[in-house]
Amino acid sequence: MGSGKRSLTTTAMALACACACACAVLAAPGTAYASPDPTPTSVPTPTSAPTTTPDLSLPPSATPTSASGRELEAVRKKLDTLYHDASVATDAYNAAEEQARQQSAQIVGLAQEIVKGQEKLDDLRDLAGAAAREQYRGGGLPPEARLWLSDDPQDFLDGAGRVRQGQHAATGLFAEMTRTQQDLEQYAKDASAQWTELETHRKAEADAKKKIKQRIAAARKLESRLEKEEKERLAQLEEEAAYQAQAAWLNSGFAPTGDGKASAQGKKAVAYATAQIGKPYVWGAEGPRSYDCSGLTSQAWAAAGGGIPRTSQEQWKQLTRVDVRDMLPGDLIIYFADASHVAMYIGDGAIVHAPRPGRTVTIAGAGSMPILGVVRPDA
């Protein structure tokens, strides 16, 4: 890692030139930064989720041949909003899918317990039936009556022991039958409750999927109205915004200043993530052919031997937070106030991430998007 702010800035500029497309990812104009102890509400976000469906029309004067730089900047912001919305919905989809997966496994486990419990109850009933038949074959007299009719004292004592044993066994048998029956009833209730929750999460998953498709379709429709030259100018605007944000971050005093080295697991995670460069972003994907942002980071850390939550929001909630200036390669940077995007820090002010639909896994400047905070999976 560079040994000073000037070195970091130089490195980032070289990176931006070498990877022109890398900086054109979800960037917003202005300074991207994070506080030393970030909280979801303390960091301003240039790109925020709208409360209503955004206006997808181009400015009135923006025809395929006349869009000005200002009008293209408005288009860029609208695209940022749409793709941000799609990213938020993707996180909701991933969370619902993970919960549905866990509950499906729990339902399967409960079903297996019900089957085993029913088999056990059947066996207990067979034993109870055999005991009843044995008593019937004994002449219809209960053991206590046969005991009192005995003339032999030893037989009396032996019989008393057998009666006590038989009574104890019968009591235990019926108590076990009762417990097994109660267990079966509880398993059935639990399975019913899990099934209800599963249906709820499946509905949430379907709703999120619908929203993702709507936002991506709207963004592509907006992009399709631009001519080739305008698309090239739009891409240039995205690169410039990302570069400016990265430069401002490097000079903000919040960029890493030390030469910290990655842990053994961190090195493995970085190696995995960078090996995926060039593979397409696909929402909900966890590899090996495609990824979304948290799919890439969760699989990279799984490959390094450290399981972490599936979504960027849960990664932010559950993993150990570290100061932005102390982050090491392998740490995860969480972006936007709603924790809707995540990338992996690889050192020298750079990240590897899966940006958004239509893009591939790439390297970009760590400050090219507004940083919420940093978490360390192996802290």
Q: What is the structure's pLDDT at 183?
A: 83
Q: What is the structure's pLDDT at 100?
A: 83
**Residue with the larger pLDDT of the pair 79 and 13:** 79
**Residue with the larger pLDDT of the pair 368 and 139:** 368
Residue range 23-34, pLDDT digits in tens: 333 333 333 334
Cα 298–chain centre separation: 8
**Residue with the larger pLDDT of the pair 252 and 44:** 252
3-class secondary structure for the chain? CCCCHHHHHHHHHHHHHHCHHHHCCCCCCCCCCCCCCCCCCCCCCCCCCCCCCCCCCCCCCCCCCCCCHHHHHHHHHHHHHHHHHHHHHHHHHHHHHHHHHHHHHHHHHHHHHHHHHHHHHHHHHHHHHHHHHHHHHCCCCCHHHHHHCCCCHHHHHHHHHHHHHHHHHHHHHHHHHHHHHHHHHHHHHHHHHHHHHHHHHHHHHHHHHHHHHHHHHHHHHHHHCCCHHHHHHHHHHHHHHHHHHHHHHHCCCCCCCCCCCCCHHHHHHHHHHHHCCCCEECCCCECCCCECHHHHHHHHHHHCCCCCCCCHHHHHHHCEEECHHHCCCCCEEEECCCCCEEEEEEECCEEEECCCCCCECEEEECCCCCEEEEEECCC
- Mean pLDDT on 222-245: 84
Closest CA to 374 of 363, 362, 339: 339
Contact 29, 270 (CB under 8 A): no
Q: How confident is the model at residue 337 (pLDDT cuts 50, 70, 90)?
A: very high
pLDDT over 90 (residue 226): no
pLDDT over 50 (residue 198): yes
Q: What is the structure's pLDDT at 162?
A: 57
Q: How confident is the model at residue 377 (pLDDT cuts 50, 70, 90)?
A: very high
- As a dihedral over the C-alpha atoms of residue 351, residue 353, residue 357, residue 360, rounded to 10 degrees, the angle is 90
Q: How confident is the model at residue 21 (pLDDT cuts 50, 70, 90)?
A: very low
Structure tokens at 62: 């923006």
Closest CA to 341 of 325, 326, 359: 359
Q: How confident is the model at residue 188 (pLDDT cuts 50, 70, 90)?
A: confident
- Mean pLDDT on 89-110: 83
CATH fold of the domain at 5-92+219-376: endopeptidase fold (from Nostoc punctiforme) (3.90.1720)
Q: What is the structure's pLDDT at 335?
A: 96
Least confident interval from 131-140, 210-219, 226-235, 272-281: 131-140
- Mean pLDDT on 96-124: 83
Q: How far is CA 239 from CA 7, 112, 150, 216, 248, in A?
A: 21, 55, 103, 21, 14
pLDDT over 60 (residue 4): no
Contact 285, 279 (CB under 8 A): no
Most confidently modeled range among 35-39, 47-51, 75-79, 325-329: 325-329
Active site residues: 293, 341, 353
Q: What is the structure's pLDDT at 64?
A: 39
- Strand-pair partners of 376: 320
- Mean pLDDT on 230-247: 87
pLDDT over 60 (residue 258): yes
Residue range 269-316, pLDDT digits in tens: 999 999 999 999 999 899 999 999 999 999 999 999 989 999 999 999
Most confidently modeled range among 68-77, 159-168, 209-218, 220-229: 209-218
Q: What is the structure's pLDDT at 151?
A: 60
The pLDDT mean for the chain works out to 76
- Mean pLDDT on 225-246: 85
Q: Percent of the chain scored above 70 by pLDDT?
A: 70
Q: What is the structure's pLDDT at 273?
A: 97
In sign, the C-alpha dihedral spanning 305, 311, 317, 322 is positive
pLDDT over 80 (residue 156): no
What pTM was computed for the model?
A: 0.58
